[in-house]
Structure 1
Amino acid sequence: MSQEILINLTPRETRVALVEHGVLQEIHLERARRRGMVGNIYLGEVRRVLPGMQAAFIDTGLERTAFLHVSDLQRGLGERAPPIDELIREGQSLLVQVIKDPIGNKGARVTTQITVPSRYLVLTPRSAGVGVSARIEDDAERARLRTVAHALGDEGQEGAGLIFRTAAEGASEQALRADRQFLVRLWESVRRRAEQAQPGHLVHEDLPLLLRALRDLATQDVERVRVDSREGYQQLRDFCHDLLPHLTERIEHYSGERPIFDLYGVEDEIQRALARRVELKSGGHLVIDQTEAMTTIDVNTGAFVGYRNVDETIFKTNLEAAQAIARQLRLRNLGGIIIVDFIDMADPEHRRQVMRALEKALERDHAKTQIGAVSSLGLVEMTRKRSRESLEQLTCEPCPTCGGRGTVKSAETVAYEIFREILREVQQFEAQRVIVLAAPGVVEVLLDEESTSLAQLEAFIDRPIELQVESLYTPDQFDVIPV
């Protein structure tokens, strides 16, 4: 699969685009003011233990205390977790790692099950054992990697485990050994800093996005990495020289006149990824709504009537939607609970094929996904691991007019509220006249569709009502001033 990584680097922001066959699949963004924390290791202090929730709040020195669940406390493989108040106590120091960034009003989620990643391997310094990425499907290769793991097990860190990442497929034993030695040295450095640190301090910070993108995204399928900064280009070359020598020659400095994200229409795709509606080539469309609790995706045929019968039209639309949904989840970095409402299909074979298409399209997703069975209401329930904020959460804020609801009161509704407010004001205050300040659309309704009602109200209160347009008012903002 032909892939390319485009990196747009400015002093305040780094943006990374993963493009497959000329189509944007993933966008990663990091701003200097709001750097992600996933992977960072802190020496924390237990502030509160909550036996009822089987959780604790940990002070890591961040703005909000971090959340630690009993399932994220270090324990032996297969052991059942005892009550959390038997494992930790208030005031205790704990070395913890962030596994989920603060999102909304929630603090970071942390674990004591520390992992230290590199290009090919993940070191688990506190738990022994060997794991191989599920995306490495070749049985012979999986067996080879496990053999290599046993050969490496006697070197360096005792009692530590290894996980072979997808990038380890085909890597030589020499490269894997060098990777493990690097991780052992890094963990020893982290451990020494933790011994000298005070609670509430950062002990180890994960790589910035510029370098993390190369570590996590640059698989064998990536043909080249283009960066539009000379300084960033040199940083990438230096990083590759030490850790990823095989990638060094694929890194290019982009010096074209067009902005790098104009290549392949990446900038336009980002704008479309922030829209609620996603058009399908067939004429159908998706409607994606992201809430705090879950994300819902509704599939519609729209104007698509291109096949011989209704069942075939619905089937083809759902098949196309399955591909589009998998791409949108990656592109928007949507996580948590996701509910998909495909168009109802009467044929069980059609349902099976659509579900298989969705599963296959999600295989390329680096985030772990789980798909449940179709519910009795015909909904597909799934989860996608969320560790960082979504594209919308990173780049947008709630609308100051609608408060994030996506709707505002109609001009007609506001007009009737104004009528009620006028009656309330003239009953409370002596006034010769009433001045109404409102948005242009509301004043237009009062002078047009509701002009008769306005005249009747004037007669009823026996006072003139003057209307004044306030162009800076929001659609549902108004003032009634008795004078």
Structure 2
Amino acid sequence: MTAELLVNITPSETRVAYIDGGILQEIHIEREARRGIVGNIYKGRVSRVLPGMQAAFVDIGLEKAAFLHASDIMPHTECVAGDEKKNFIVRDISELVRQGQDLMVQVVKDPLGTKGARLTTDITLPSRYLVFMPGASHVGVSQRIESEAERNRLKAVVAAYCDELGGYIIRTAAEGVGEDELASDAAFLKRLWTKVIERKKRNKTRCRLYGEVALSQRILRDFAGAALDRIRIDSRLSFEHLLEFTGEYIPEMTAKLELYTGKQPIFDLFDVENEIQRSLDRKVELKSGGYLIIDQTEAMTTVDINTGAFVGHRNLEETIFNTNIEATQAIARQLRLRNLGGIIIIDFIDMNNEDHRRRVLHSLEQALSKDRVKTGVNGFSQLGLVEMTRKRTRESIEHVLCQDCRVCKGRGTLKTVETVCYEIMREIVRVHHAYDSDRFLVYASPSVGEALKSDESHALAEVEIFVGKQVKVQVEPLYTQEQFDVVMM
């Protein structure tokens, strides 16, 4: 089974599709207008020191001066235990920096409104499995890697890569990763830091030394060491940039790059465009005739499984079991494709057989093992729901591509015609009590206006008798179903 990346480039947007076995597994989208500067490294100059705020303003070449607090001028403390951190004392800002001084800083927060960017001098460079800490001499391990044996293994492997340039933090994604991938990441980060130092020596102040790479380069960095057969790019300019990028930082991937020159759009090759559209639907059809319902809320994502048209061949218990097993594969793919993170609750069809429940859970864990993002399955709860988590790494595809409907305001439902008609009648009575008028004119949507003139005409007539005034209805074709106005005449 082949695996490849399709890179679609337009001036304002970059999209990358990960195809495995001919099926879309992941989609990544980045729009130029929404790219931030978090992670960028600058050579800046202190323009003002504010002892009263224990902070300084630093000119890094942006429209607004950036903000550097005394607490952000600290040595690497990411891997230090909580008790030890108390020993680090924040010194007075006047002792740490002076006006006119040149500093190498990294952006930790984008400019917002009237505020400039937030900076730190505690610079880090991330890759897929490691974070490089210039000047540090130790190795830290993510707290989310819980196995002590695995923590010790990773620490022993990565310790060999520490030298006078710096140390490393081992990221959660490194759990279970082999030595070759870790060595590749460490070498990549050292090359990157060397380039930053060279630029610092070569360039004047108020300039960018390192920018968080664009999506196409970030994806190649994150897929370094993955079993990819080829990477197809539909832009000659981007293809040349990626050739240069891989040649400098990931030479083992250069041979996999291909310039796509086909006549049909690159995303039509594996039906990617249609798959993106389907990933926005609540309902996901299963091959057997069953289906999933996926609802993304603020607090969590819920997945409901139904047998639908699948009636099975033996008995109800087998039908339910087979539907749930098929659903585990679909769920794992949909979580990756939609990039759903946080708490995920799965409502499998109820199973009375304990062996069936165990096998469904195992099937889900096996399907999730292919996910590049860390997941955790907590098993069936007392209510028969499977609780799991998936690390949030970026916005879900729905949040990137969609916004709340201005008609339903994100509810996903509309008030019925009948409900709106009754609201209009109550509004007429309210206005009648509040103001003097001779008659009322109601502006409503076509569906509501039609109902007021037909199905609800008797109720509207009773309102006219109650208020003792004439009510006229006028249809407004551009009004939405919930929109109406009651005007005094």
User: Residues 232 and 401 from structure 1, CA distance in 2 versus in 1: closer, same or farther, beyond 3 angstroms?
Assistant: same
Q: Distance in 2 between matches of 1:4 and 1:167?
A: 21
Q: 1:5–1:16: 8 Å Cα contact kept in structure 2?
A: yes
Identity fraction in percent: 47
Q: Residue 188 of structure 2 aligns with which residue? A: 179
Residue 366 in structure 1 maps to residue 372 in structure 2 = yes
SS of 2:262's equivalent in the other structure is coil
Q: Residue 56 of structure 1 aligns with which residue? A: none
Q: Among 434, 445, 448, which residue is 2:451 paired with?
A: 445
Q: 2:77–2:85: 8 Å Cα contact kept in structure 1?
A: no
| CA displacement at 1:432 relative to structure 2 | 3.5
Residue 333 in structure 1 maps to residue 339 in structure 2 = yes
SS of 2:33's equivalent in the other structure is coil
TM-score scaled by length of structure 1:
0.79
- Within 5 Å, give how 1:69-468 maps onto structure 2: 74-75=76-77, 77=79, 79-81=81-83, 115-118=124-127, 122-125=131-134, 126=136, 128-129=138-139, 150=160, 152-154=161-163, 156-160=164-168, 170=180, 178-179=187-188, 181-186=190-195, 188=197, 204-468=210-474
Q: Distance in 2 between matches of 1:368 and 1:172?
A: 17
| CA displacement at 1:325 relative to structure 2 | 1.2
Q: Distance in 2 between matches of 1:177 and 1:74?
A: 18
Q: 1:241–1:248: 8 Å Cα contact kept in structure 2?
A: yes
| CA displacement at 1:446 relative to structure 2 | 1.5
Q: Residue 15 of structure 2 aligns with which residue? A: 15
SS of 1:222's equivalent in the other structure is coil
Q: Distance in 1 between matches of 2:154 and 2:77?
A: 29
The one-letter code sitting in structure 2 at the alignment partner of 1:362 is: L
Deviations 1:277-309 (A, max 9, x none): 211112221111112222111222222212422
Deviations 1:203-248 (A, max 9, x none): 7421100211111125442111111111111111111222222322
| CA displacement at 1:11 relative to structure 2 | 0.7
Q: 2:7–2:233: 8 Å Cα contact kept in structure 1?
A: yes
TM-score scaled by length of structure 2:
0.78
SS of 2:295's equivalent in the other structure is strand
Tell me how many residue pairs correspond in the alignment: 454
Deviations 1:346-402 (A, max 9, x none): 111111111111111111111111221321111222221113211111111111111
Q: 2:137–2:166: 8 Å Cα contact kept in structure 1?
A: no
User: Residues 437 and 158 from structure 1, CA distance in 2 versus in 1: closer, same or farther, beyond 3 angstroms?
Assistant: closer
Q: 2:279–2:334: 8 Å Cα contact kept in structure 1?
A: yes
Q: 1:432–1:482: 8 Å Cα contact kept in structure 2?
A: yes
SS of 1:264's equivalent in the other structure is coil
Q: Distance in 2 between matches of 1:158 and 1:344?
A: 53
| CA displacement at 1:89 relative to structure 2 | 8.5
CA RMSD, aligned part only? 4.5
The one-letter code sitting in structure 2 at the alignment partner of 1:21 is: G
The one-letter code sitting in structure 2 at the alignment partner of 1:340 is: I
Q: 2:312–2:318: 8 Å Cα contact kept in structure 1?
A: no
User: Residues 167 and 469 from structure 1, CA distance in 2 versus in 1: closer, same or farther, beyond 3 angstroms?
Assistant: same
Q: 1:441–1:475: 8 Å Cα contact kept in structure 2?
A: yes
| CA displacement at 1:85 relative to structure 2 | 11
User: Residues 456 and 161 from structure 1, CA distance in 2 versus in 1: closer, same or farther, beyond 3 angstroms?
Assistant: closer
Contiguous gaps of at least 5 residues in structure 1: 48-59, 103-107
Contiguous gaps of at least 5 residues in structure 2: 51-59, 98-103, 112-116
User: Residues 120 and 416 from structure 1, CA distance in 2 versus in 1: closer, same or farther, beyond 3 angstroms?
Assistant: closer
Q: 2:217–2:242: 8 Å Cα contact kept in structure 1?
A: yes
Q: 1:149–1:162: 8 Å Cα contact kept in structure 2?
A: no
User: Residues 209 and 379 from structure 1, CA distance in 2 versus in 1: closer, same or farther, beyond 3 angstroms?
Assistant: same
The one-letter code sitting in structure 1 at the alignment partner of 2:295 is: D
Q: Residue 35 of structure 1 aligns with which residue? A: 35
